[in-house]
Amino acid sequence: MTKDEFYMGKALAEAKTAYAVGEIPIGAVIVYEKKVVARAYNLRESLPCATAHAELLAIEKACRALNRWRLTGCTLYVTVEPCPMCAGAIVNSRLDRVVYGCDDPKAGAVRSLFQLVDNDHLNHRTEVTAGVRAEECAALMKDFFRKRRKR
């Protein structure tokens, strides 16, 4: 198992917690110097708050844990490709790297619809690794929405 697969497993665990509480199953962890400094899952329905995406919640926690807003030296692992709002936060927080599981063809802003995090016009570019444990990440989303439609 690679390092990326290992940490994506941690993000998947967060996504499964989201699933269990009725949230869209997206999980995120932020790693700094081989240590998970933040973990989160979607909480939009529970809070309720439109910005309570796993990535944003993890970024907020990492900033508090490291006592700084610049998350240089950190990698974000997230189960689904970030949306435009989260991609903007990735750039603004200066994350060095984002690793995601499955693509989001309807809202993805890292590769699918937009390429925000490594756009030459912005003041920061983030390295991207896509498709890590993609099948597991996609299966969790598909199962969640299949069960939701049955209700």
Binding residues: 53, 83, 86
The span from the CA of 79 to the CA of 95, in Å, is 17
**Which residue out of 5, 23, 45, 55 is catalytically annotated?**
55
What does the block give as tokens for 32?
């700094």
The verdict on whether 14 is a catalytic residue reads no
SS3 assignment for the chain: CCHHHHHHHHHHHHHHHHHHCCCCCCEEEEEECCEEEEEEECCCCCCCCCCCCHHHHHHHHHHHHHCCCCCCCEEEEEEECCCHHHHHHHHHCCCCEEEEEECCCCCCCCCCCCCCCCCCCCCCCCEEEECCCHHHHHHHHHHHHHHHHHC
Residues annotated within a binding site for Zn(2+): 53, 83, 86
H or E element in which residue 150 lies: helix 134-150
Indicate which residues carry an active-site annotation.
55
